[in-house]
Amino acid sequence: MEQQEKKIEQKPHTMRHDIISRIKSLYVSLIFCGLGVTACFVWIIAFSPTVRHNAEVMENGIYRYSDIEAHRGTIFSRDGEPLAISSLRYNILLDFGSEGIIEADTAKYLKHTENLSRLLASHFTKEDAAEHGYKYISAEEYRKIFIREWERKEKKRRSYKILPRTITIDEWNMMKRKFPIFNGNIGYVFSAQPNDKRLYPSGDIARQTIGRYDTIVVNNVKVPGTGLEGLYNQHLAGKDGSSKEQWIAHGFWTRVSDKDNRPVENGANVITTIDAGLQRVAHARLDTMLRQQKASFGVAMVMEVKTGNMLCMVSLGSATERGTTYSERVNNHALKTAISPGSTMKLASAMALLEIGGYDLYTKVNTEHSRPNHPVKIGAAKIEDSHDAAGKDSDGYVTLKDGFAHSSNVYFAKAIYEAFKDNPKVYTDFLSKLRFNDYIGLEAYGERKGKLPMADTPEWNQRGSTSSRLPRMAYGYELDVPPIHMLTFYNGVANEGRMVAPRIVDRIERDGEIVEETPVVTLIEKMCSKRTLSLLDSCLAAASERTGRHFKDLAVPFGCKTGTAQMWSTFVSESRIDNIQMRNGINGKEDNYYYGSIICTMPQESPKYTIMVAVCKQATPTNPTYFGIDLSAPVASDIMEYIYANDPSLHSVVESATTPYAPEAIKGGKTKHVTKVGSLAKSLKDASEGESWSSVSRDGENTIIKGVKIEEGKVPDVRGMGLTDALYILEQAGLKVSHRGSGRVRSQSLAPGRAIHENMKIELSLER
């Protein structure tokens, strides 16, 4: 009964009920689908990198603007040799997400990458890695890179810089011909990104002057920082351009025409005053001397008298161990190392004595036969000479000219002290006007200012007094100046008293057109009177006579002055020993550092060049040499010989003869040669009658050329001919020739016209 009631209570399944159930299920399905679609939209909009990339592409279209790097200008020597040049190099990218690699089958890919790995390892060798400063990659390491990138999921594949360094266009063209994958055998899967690489073809030559590129970081950007590269960066750098590019494939873009494209303006060229050949000679010779002497540093410079053009500027410093390696990269000692000049300063003292001290060349001072260990007290200073300038049999008195030639410290110390002790300001003011207390125009290159104590300042009495300072200043102590200052001073004397600033850059050029010229800057219009200059020239000439042993091969007269000074100033050095010595400063005789220099002007009359060489070294038991004449004169001699050999204006002029040369005797031989020489004779009669060979005779002042017939099978007549022509004719005729004497053929053992038989011999007698 209860079961029946339950059956009655159940509602029957109607069609309406089924439809409603199905609609509910559909609603639920649609709701879930909607939630899924919404989630996909959220993922696409907020999280998907692919969609975000595509959105950016859609936002920007398929175009972008790209900067085009300007080609950096070249720094040239005066003779057109590149000292710094930019070369176009390429970074090669392999796109592992490209269709060519994706569609390549595994066997084909592994085969090509195996070969490519081997070729890359053989091209980028260990020697190449050491030369260019990158880590060597073996063939196995290349293969692992190719497999690793291949095994990435397709969406994670990327463009990869496969080469360890940038390559030249020639290297790239070779690889596109010979290297698999690069040759397109699995499609276009690579791109080449160009960039400029700065090269210095001459290596270390003139690097302090040229400077360095990309050496200083400013606001996280590398910018040129030293030398010409930094000073003329605005001209060298040019202006970058901009180009519109169209996206053509994953990782690949191509430039298209657009009104907003901005053309690139390549950098201008800097033409220096440096003579590349002279710079090399000075560099090599100075390097040799520094190695021999185990020196700390050295400089060599050549300045053109009229213009101030620096034809060479070498500055070499020691590496960690003195006597091994010397480099331009250590420091520009020529400009930045201020140092006591020593006896080269005596030219300035002589100028003061002649100009304002009332002296002439023959004003005498008693040197008291001073020599080593026999000092003379002058004021509060004890001063000695390297040798007795007066000679032991004299009265001890020396003239200014001889005192300069013998480089007498005592002469100049006494003369300057006596002339200016009552008013030392007159002397220091005179030196100051010669810019020994100033710059000489190369501040932008890091030039140090000269340091000259002035007599009217508190500094004057800080380390002594007039009685101790004035005598020492006279022969090059108590003041510090860079070598370039002394060179400029001597150059002013050579330039008839007009001191010009050193000039390193001649002009700026773009596409062969001059953009800017560097003017010649006059520092002092008139250093002293013409009389004083003439007397100083005599002093320089007298000093050069005492250096003859180092300049015996030089064919042109010159003026010069050597200098030797004990070192008291510290300097920049990479030498281990130097830096140990300089921890507590350098203390004269205690440390035995010396600065030996020479400054020359050539030729002696109307000088064109001023040459300076200076070497700093520590005198040691194994290398005791320290005098300027021994350290610097040999280098200066080689530099001056090079200048002489390459400047025809220094050579003696061969004057034309007043009467033309007429040969008195002419050898027989080839008719065309005999006729050419015979044309110089006073009177010539040509009777050669078309014969190839001729003899020459004289009839009074008349020169007669007569043809010589060469008949087959008969002995030729070679009398009057030179040996070379006679041998040729006789051996061609089948004769065996012997000869004695020299000059022309006087006689022959076989009469001309005689029949020739086999193994026939003939003897020639020659005389001058």
Full DSSP string of 584-606 = G---GGGTTEEEEEEEEEESSSS
**Any residues with CB less than 8 A from the CB of 449 and at least 6 apart, and which?**
338, 437, 438, 439
Three-state DSSP state, 214: coil
Residue 259 has φ and ψ, to the nearest 5°, of -65, -20
Q: Which residues, given as ranges, of the chain have pLDDT below 70?
A: 1-13, 44-61, 63-68, 154-155, 215-224, 245-257, 657, 659-662
Contact, 762 vs 730, CB < 8 A? yes
- pLDDT score, position 358: 94
Dig out the tokens for 227 from the structure. 């030398």
Task: Please provide the size of the chain in residues.
Answer: 768
- pLDDT score, position 1: 47
**Nearest Cα residue to 383 out of 305, 469, 458:** 469
Q: Where are the alpha helices (DSSP H) in 254-371?
A: 276-293, 333-336, 346-355
Dig out the tokens for 603 from the structure. 């030729």
Rounded distance between C-alpha atoms, residue 635 and residue 713, angstroms: 66
**Any residues with CB less than 8 A from the CB of 528 and at least 6 apart, and which?**
351, 354, 355, 497
- pLDDT score, position 272: 96
> Which residues in 463-607 belong to E strands, given as ranges?
499-500, 505-510, 513-517, 522-524, 559-566, 593-602
Q: Which residue reads 């990198």 in tokens?
A: 49
What predicted TM-score, i.e. pTM, was given to this entire model? 0.75
Contact, 415 vs 357, CB < 8 A? yes
Sheet holding 744-748, edge to edge: 736-740, 761-767, 744-748
Q: Sign of dihedral through CA atoms 416, 422, 423, 426?
A: negative
- Taking only Cα atoms into account, the Rg of the chain, rounded to an integer number of angstroms, comes to 43
Please state, in angstroms and as integers, the Cα–Cα distance from residue 673 to each residue in 48, 76, 487, 581, 583, following that order: 94, 47, 55, 74, 77
Instruction: Look up the CATH superfamily of 340-481.
Output: DD-peptidase/beta-lactamase superfamily (3.40.710.10)
Amino acid in the structure at residue 633:
A
> Which residues in 20-174 belong to E strands, given as ranges?
63-68, 75-76, 82-95, 159-161
**Nearest Cα residue to 721 out of 702, 699, 734, 737:** 737
- pLDDT score, position 222: 66
Q: Taking CA 280 as the corner, what is the angle to CA 274 and CA 283, rounded to the nearest 5 degrees?
A: 105
- pLDDT score, position 437: 94
Contact, 628 vs 562, CB < 8 A? yes
Omega before residue 603 within 30° of 0, cis: yes
**Nearest Cα residue to 564 out of 280, 339, 248, 287:** 339
CATH fold for the domain made of 273-336+501-529+540-650: Beta-Lactamase (3.30.450)
Rounded distance between C-alpha atoms, residue 731 and residue 737, angstroms: 7
Rounded distance between C-alpha atoms, residue 691 and residue 496, angstroms: 65
Amino acid in the structure at residue 553:
D
Residue 28 has φ and ψ, to the nearest 5°, of -60, -45
- Neighbouring-strand partners of residue 738: 763
> 669-767 has which CATH code?
3.30.10.20
- Give the distance from CA 655 to its chain's centroid: 39
Rounded distance between C-alpha atoms, residue 322 and residue 575, angstroms: 6
